[in-house]
Structure 1
Amino acid sequence: MLEDETLFNLLIPKSFYLSVLIIFFDYFYQQFFISYPFYKKVISNKSKLQENDTKKSTKIIDPNIKHKAYIIKLTKALTILLLSRALIVTLSNSENVSLVDTFTNVSSIVSTTFILFKCLPREKLKTIMLCSITQKDRLKIVIQSDILLSFNSAILFYIKTLFTTHFENFQVISILVFVNFYIVSIRFIQCIRERNWLNVLKYGLNYPVLYCMYHDVNNNTLYYFKIAQTFYGALWDLLMDWKLHVSISSRVLNKSTIISLAITALLLKFSFLYAHVFNGITFILLTLEIVRRLIWVLLRLDYEYYAL
């Protein structure tokens, strides 16, 4: 597979996957959402909607330009780290493999922490991490919690890559189980607190999948659960999050764009089958899930603006 080839690992080692995906997501998050007037209207206090109609020039453009500047800085810093790692690999001999791995892991932890710190504090992270939800900032919290859920596989892959060589196998599995269940439970608990039982069922379907992943269960059983979970989630996206059964001709995005994006998102939702059938590349699968989440957010905000 491509991810096991020396050249690919030289350019983007596995421990840097999460850093690359965060920058990728955050850049497009800014490009497609923050620069759109309807994003500011939907996310802002709805009582100030009329004021925002007449004040949407500099308030939207300036922060976006500033954010693009630091995204470019983050990309440059990450590029320097990757090139430094490539140089060490080139100059070192086989006896210095541990030195290369240590440098790569340390620089990956530092860069990922820095990028997370720069990209994520703008949202209500404390509220999200405590699995709580408030009516005032509900949309923000839901979107950010679901984004975190989409990064779940990338985070687990990152942890597994960093810790496998330094911890016993059972310790790594224990960490993975804890992180996985914790991230999945955030939205599950939020929905319970809202008493949104159909949504509780949607997120609750994650638990049979997790059970199969961490127990000696037949792979076919795992994928049957994943297919059931994905079908239910797809119906929820269409009817509840995007409400495509409601008129889509009056929205910000035109009808053909909405339909095209929805079809693309639904196809990407089944991307896990790519790994099952074709033994697909992990990095590609992680990236496809991030692309799907970007589309989901765009269609969700498009409906929210229409509903105002």
Structure 2
Amino acid sequence: MTAYTMTGQFHYGRPVYKSSRDGYLFYYQLDDRWYVGPYLGNTTVWMYVDDNSINAEDISETWYLVDGGYFLPNSRVRVTCVSVEGCQKVRISGSYSDQIDRMTTYTMTGQLFNDRPGYQSSSGDFLYYYNQDPAGWHVGPGLGSDAMYLPNDTSIYADGTSGTWYLSNATDFLPNRLVRVSCVDPGAVVNGQWSNWGSWATCHTYCTCGDDACVASTVQRTRKCITPPPRNGGSDCEGGSSQERLCACLGRTDRAVDPNPSPNPNPNPNPNPNPNPNPNPNLNPNSNPNPNPNPNPNPNPNPNPNPNPNPKP
């Protein structure tokens, strides 16, 4: 009686689970049963249940436990799903035909997309959340691209998702109910890490320049301690989750003023100086102070050597 975690393997079309000790929870199609035992695929086991559910947490029939060399029913035994959402590294598994290369591990990048952590595989694919209708999770070679997707799931973390994924076969997207996202190491101690900072909010009001009585408004930007969140006793993120800065005027254009502005790299107060210091640059219209070193030998302003205005097609 302990916790079992998906290994990423499948046995007769069902996920394989492994405990933190040495036991396996797996399905055996020839008997139409789920087994718990020391060896994967071996029917010398400690307990079993006659149930063909796709996932172990959906098992509802009565378990039989070995007792004195016999299997006896025990109606109190249940399989429940333990929430382990927020893993820094997750695994997508379950397809053996379409998108096989994307059945691999994905690690949080530290960036947020639509207020959800983004993940990336070692091959460069992205696992991310997209909030357009229908909202859901997507996998593809770039943000906004689709090789597979999970519609109508708004989970904060990828390992909290459930439902049927749709995988591209280069012609269409086909459902595959065996595809799952699972936590790679649910028992690991993980320290919380901040996401990247979000964008500054937009200033909607501003003071008239020189009006000392006007109180400038402020704008904020935020970040979240979810890439990953602290888990299993790990430390929380240090520092604040928000920053503020003032809105002020610049002429008639509203802007946000950085409390630590960088110095002007160009000390010249005139950003567009006149390259010609002569206050009357054209006293002699016939003078040419900068003659073209390669004058055009053809004074005709029409560069087309064919004067016919209707060239042949």
Structure with the largest fraction of helix: 1
From the CA coordinates, give the structure whose radius of gyration is larger: 2
> Using CA pairs below 8 Å that are at least 6 residues apart, which structure has the higher relative contact order?
1
- Whether the TM-score (by the shorter chain) exceeds 0.5 is no
Normalized against structure 1, the TM-score is what?
0.20
Structure with the largest fraction of strand: 2
